[in-house]
Chains A and B, each alone.
Chain A
Amino acid sequence: MKVMDYLPYLVSAWLFLIGLYGIVTSRNLIHAVTCLAVVQSSTYVLLLAIGYRRGGTAPIFFDVPVGTRAVDPVVASLALTDVVVGATVTALLLALAVQIHKRLGTLDPDELRAMKG
């Protein structure tokens, strides 16, 4: 029981860290962008875990008695908004990666040392 309570939070932290590890060690921009999507998905899990109520139904109060236990609808809408934001960022980044591949013929960040401080 105890483990099941903590599991979503652990999953969220794991997604965050493993995604960051992927970005840091990435040798391919598409891979890096996908890892960023993994990092972002940690927030979906976290949000839904926070709003979860044991034994709660979906928050549709149409033909259920008043006072029925339901999961938090606010976090669901936050997660939805978050998905939209994440999709926008991912789409933009993938477009950039495609352009880079078109111009330079490579997706390896190490080969793209165009800039030096």
Chain B
Amino acid sequence: MPALAALPVAIPLLVAAALVGAGPLLRRRVADTVAIVTAAAVTVLGAALLARTLGGTTVVWFGGWTPRSGVALGVAFAIDPIGAGMVTFAGLLMTAALTFSWRYFDTVGILFHALMLVLLAAVAGFCSSGDLFNMFVFFELLSVSAYALAGYKIEDPGSLQGALNFAVTNSVGAVMVLTGVALLYGRTGALNLAQIGTTLAAAPADRLVVVAFALLLVGFFVKAAVVPFHFWLADAYAVAPTPVCVLFAGLLSELGVYAVARVYWSVFSGPFGGHTPGLRAALLAGAALTALLGGVMCILQHHLARLLAFATVSHVGLTLLGIALLEPEGLAGAALYTVADGLVKAALFVLVGILAHRFGTLEELELRGQGRALRWAAPLLVLGAVGLAGVPPFGTFVGKALIEEGAGGAAHWMAALFMVASALTAGAVLRVSGRVFAGWGPTVFGGRDESAEEAAKRHEAEEGDELRVSRSLIGPSMLVPALVLLGSSIAIGMVPGLSDRAVVVAARFADRPAYAGAVLGGARAAPTVAAPTPAGGRLVAAAPWTAGTLVLAVAGAAAALFGRRLPSRLRRRGLRLTVPMVRALRGLHSGQMGDSVTWLLIGTAGFGTVLAAVLR
């Protein structure tokens, strides 16, 4: 059984090392095949772990260093269904991304496969680890491979710069995480999550614990790209090769959110249990801001990768809303939403990658009407927009319904927030579909305040790389990943009773004493079973809001495409209101490293102040 827990980490690492070692001897297709098979194997192992952990948390102490009387000296993997689910999800996304890259790249070095596999191993380790410092190390391994992958197209200066900004901002976040870990170690003498949690729960939290919590939270928020720590994300996504984006969009930010949930429930829910309302309000505010700002920035983009990048920011905000409720139903919803939504976003990136591959550009206006040659992709892109909107049968609907129900008395606010944010992102994708595949809409952007020369220059910087990919035909290796990803997201929404099962699993995740008992006591604590609420009720409650989301998204896309036909007075007034705001928002997103680190500091100070106030 220890083997099953360790294999999702060990196999990709070993294969990556073997690939690099045998690099010069290998043909490209051999490396492709080996990498895809490895990723698929991790998916299967993750699913096996998921099935296994449904009965109870799987704990493995490496080297047999089991804890003695509650003191952990060894390093443990403690895997529960949410962690195992993330491993499976990561394996699936990686398989899709590698399959997509089969034809996407004309030439690609073995190092690409190795980096992708190292990233997969790091994700598996991160989601399995029961040790705070090991979480940090796996996250750093993950991040370093991600930096290298983001800057993989080394011939493109924009790519290097995006990667640099990404790396510097995230490294500062990592230093904050490590400082938090060090402070916690100084206070409790432990690195094991369960042991830190147990020790902290024994005494009321003092300022040191609050500071450590704030540092960990901010560090993980940087990775999750929560506003105002999100400035690096669009730059990294706009420049990374599309197969890498497929992976980033579904996985990277979500792992930051997972880390927040893991650390809160296994470590801090004891000492801060009495401050839940204040903490909940602070987290909800940050999450709501992220969801809305991400949505607004999404509709302002005309570079498709950047557009999807901001859709990612917005939907990470929505996921965080579920976590921020600080109760199992919201967590269950967030877990389902993460997976279902990540699959949809990855599928959208695959489709966008197909457009880039075929037409050599990702500028929406240049693609206008071009898509007629790829008519079959249109329904898929629209289907992706529907998935973003959280419409059944997509799994996003189930996740959303759970989060809304978890909000209890504030369910209407939560539903309205989901409606607005997902209507913005879904509307943006619908607008793109209409413009690219039907040739609808104006040939310039209404609120665009950029001279043609500037646009051409920026375009050259961003796109130089994509132009260099061959404009060969689209093969099944590109289409199949999109279909499988969308299909999996729909399948998640179709599994009967999944939302009730998720609530039970989440209740176990949130039960700190049971987690500590499973890890430290050696005994398998009986899972607490939450009284399941009838699933039908929450789905019915979410239905009208979902219809509203669709109507808003379609109306918004139509307004963007056919707005010219509105009376000119109305239009001018609208523009006068929005143009200054748009300009200000664009100005904020300068893509400068210094700016994004400055915002990191401002955000840290602000967030720290709020936490200090609510956790007093």
Partner of B179, one of A16, A20, A92: A16
Tell me the bound Cα distance from A46 to B597 in angstroms.
Answer: 22
Q: Are A114 and B458 in contact (CB under 8 A)?
A: yes
B297 at the interface (CB under 8 A from A): yes
**Nearest chain A residue, comparing its CB with the CB of B150:** A96
**Nearest chain B residue, comparing its CB with the CB of A13:** B179
Q: Which of B559-604 contact A (CB under 8 A)?
A: 585-586, 588-594, 597-598, 601
**Residues of A with C-beta under 8 A to B185:** 50, 74-75, 78
A47 at the interface (CB under 8 A from B): yes
Q: Are B164 and A96 in contact (CB under 8 A)?
A: yes
**Residues of A with C-beta under 8 A to B174:** 85
**Residues of B with C-beta under 8 A to A104:** 157
Tell me the bound Cα distance from A16 to B347 in angstroms.
Answer: 40
**Residues of A with C-beta under 8 A to B461:** 114-115
Query: Nearest-CB distance from B111 to chain A (Å)?
Result: 13
| Secondary structure call for the A interface | helix
A2 at the interface (CB under 8 A from B): no
Which of B's residues lie within 8 Å of A, judged by CB? Answer: 133, 137, 140, 144, 147-148, 151, 154-155, 157-158, 160-164, 167-168, 171-172, 174-175, 178-179, 181-183, 185-186, 191, 234-235, 238-239, 297, 306, 450, 454, 458, 461-462, 585-586, 588-594, 597-598, 601
Tell me the bound Cα distance from A23 to B165 in angstroms.
Answer: 11
Q: Name, among A47, A50, A96, A115, the residue most crowded by chain B CB atoms within 10 Å (CB to CB).
A: A115
Query: Nearest-CB distance from B473 to chain A (Å)?
Result: 31
Cross-chain pairs A/B with CB under 8 angstroms, 6 sampled:
A20-B597, A85-B144, A92-B148, A93-B147, A116-B450, A116-B454
Which of A's residues lie within 8 Å of B, judged by CB? Answer: 16, 20, 23-26, 29, 32-33, 36, 39-40, 42-43, 46-47, 50, 74-75, 78, 81-82, 85, 88-89, 92-93, 96-97, 99-100, 103-104, 109-110, 112-117
Q: Are A115 and B462 in contact (CB under 8 A)?
A: yes
Q: Are A92 and B133 in contact (CB under 8 A)?
A: no
Q: Are B597 and A85 in contact (CB under 8 A)?
A: no
Partner of A46, one of B179, B454, B594: B179
**Residues of A with C-beta under 8 A to B168:** 23, 32-33, 36, 93
**Residues of A with C-beta under 8 A to B306:** 117
Tell me the bound Cα distance from A113 to B594 in angstroms.
Answer: 12
Q: Name, among B137, B168, B585, the residue most crowded by chain A CB atoms within 10 Å (CB to CB).
A: B168
**Residues of B with C-beta under 8 A to A82:** 178
Partner of B297, one of A32, A81, A112, A117: A117
Query: Nearest-CB distance from A48 to chain B (Å)?
Result: 10
Q: Are A112 and B594 in contact (CB under 8 A)?
A: no
Query: Nearest-CB distance from A67 to chain B (Å)?
Result: 18
> Besides the contacts A16-B175, A42-B175, A85-B174, what 10 more A-B pairs have beta carbons closer than 8 Å?
A23-B597, A24-B601, A26-B594, A32-B168, A36-B171, A78-B133, A99-B151, A99-B160, A100-B160, A113-B590
**Nearest chain A residue, comparing its CB with the CB of B458:** A116
- A115 and B161 in contact (CB under 8 A), knowing A23-B594, A36-B168, A39-B175? yes
**Nearest chain B residue, comparing its CB with the CB of A79:** B182
**Residues of B with C-beta under 8 A to A112:** 157, 161
- A29 and B164 in contact (CB under 8 A), knowing A74-B185, A116-B590, A117-B586? yes
**Residues of B with C-beta under 8 A to A117:** 234, 297, 306, 585-586, 588-591
Tell me the bound Cα distance from A20 to B178 in angstroms.
Answer: 16
Query: Nearest-CB distance from B327 to chain A (Å)?
Result: 34
**Residues of A with C-beta under 8 A to B593:** 23, 26, 32, 109
**Residues of A with C-beta under 8 A to B148:** 92
Q: Are B179 and A96 in contact (CB under 8 A)?
A: no
Q: Are B164 and A39 in contact (CB under 8 A)?
A: no
Closest 9 CB pairs of A and B: A117-B589, A115-B591, A114-B461, A50-B186, A114-B158, A85-B140, A103-B157, A43-B178, A24-B594
Q: Are A47 and B182 in contact (CB under 8 A)?
A: yes
**Nearest chain B residue, comparing its CB with the CB of A91:** B144
- A100 and B586 in contact (CB under 8 A), knowing A23-B594, A47-B182, A85-B140? no
Tell me the bound Cα distance from A78 to B182 in angstroms.
Answer: 9
- A115 and B458 in contact (CB under 8 A), knowing A23-B593, A23-B597, A96-B164? yes
**Residues of A with C-beta under 8 A to B164:** 29, 93, 96-97, 100
**Residues of A with C-beta under 8 A to B171:** 36, 39-40, 89
**Nearest chain A residue, comparing its CB with the CB of B170:** A89
Query: Nearest-CB distance from B386 to chain A (Å)?
Result: 27
**Nearest chain A residue, comparing its CB with the CB of B454:** A116
**Residues of B with C-beta under 8 A to A50:** 182-183, 185-186
Q: Are B594 and A109 in contact (CB under 8 A)?
A: yes
- A96 and B598 in contact (CB under 8 A), knowing A23-B593, A46-B179? no
**Residues of B with C-beta under 8 A to A110:** 592
Q: Are A89 and B144 in contact (CB under 8 A)?
A: yes
**Nearest chain A residue, comparing its CB with the CB of B455:** A116
**Nearest chain A residue, comparing its CB with the CB of B594:** A24
**Nearest chain B residue, comparing its CB with the CB of A81:** B137
Tell me the bound Cα distance from A23 to B172 in angstroms.
Answer: 10
**Nearest chain A residue, comparing its CB with the CB of B185:** A50
**Residues of B with C-beta under 8 A to A78:** 133, 181-182, 185
Tell me the bound Cα distance from A66 to B231 in angstroms.
Answer: 54
Tell me the bound Cα distance from A52 to B133 in angstroms.
Answer: 19
Tell me the bound Cα distance from A33 to B593 in angstroms.
Answer: 11
Q: Name, among B178, B185, B589, the residue most crowded by chain A CB atoms within 10 Å (CB to CB).
A: B178
**Residues of B with C-beta under 8 A to A96:** 151, 160, 163-164, 167
Q: Are A100 and B157 in contact (CB under 8 A)?
A: yes
Tell me the bound Cα distance from A100 to B183 in angstroms.
Answer: 37
**Residues of B with C-beta under 8 A to A26:** 593-594
Q: Are A92 and B147 in contact (CB under 8 A)?
A: yes
Query: Nearest-CB distance from A75 to chain B (Å)?
Result: 7
**Nearest chain A residue, comparing its CB with the CB of B587:** A117
Q: Name, among A85, A93, A104, the residue most crowded by chain B CB atoms within 10 Å (CB to CB).
A: A85
Query: Nearest-CB distance from A36 to chain B (Å)?
Result: 6
Q: Are B175 and A100 in contact (CB under 8 A)?
A: no
**Residues of B with C-beta under 8 A to A23:** 168, 172, 593-594, 597
Query: Nearest-CB distance from A10 to chain B (Å)?
Result: 14
Tell me the bound Cα distance from A44 to B338 in angstroms.
Answer: 35
**Residues of A with C-beta under 8 A to B589:** 116-117
Q: Name, among B133, B164, B454, B586, the residue most crowded by chain A CB atoms within 10 Å (CB to CB).
A: B164
**Nearest chain B residue, comparing its CB with the CB of A33:** B168
Query: Nearest-CB distance from B540 to chain A (Å)?
Result: 40
**Nearest chain B residue, comparing its CB with the CB of A41:** B175
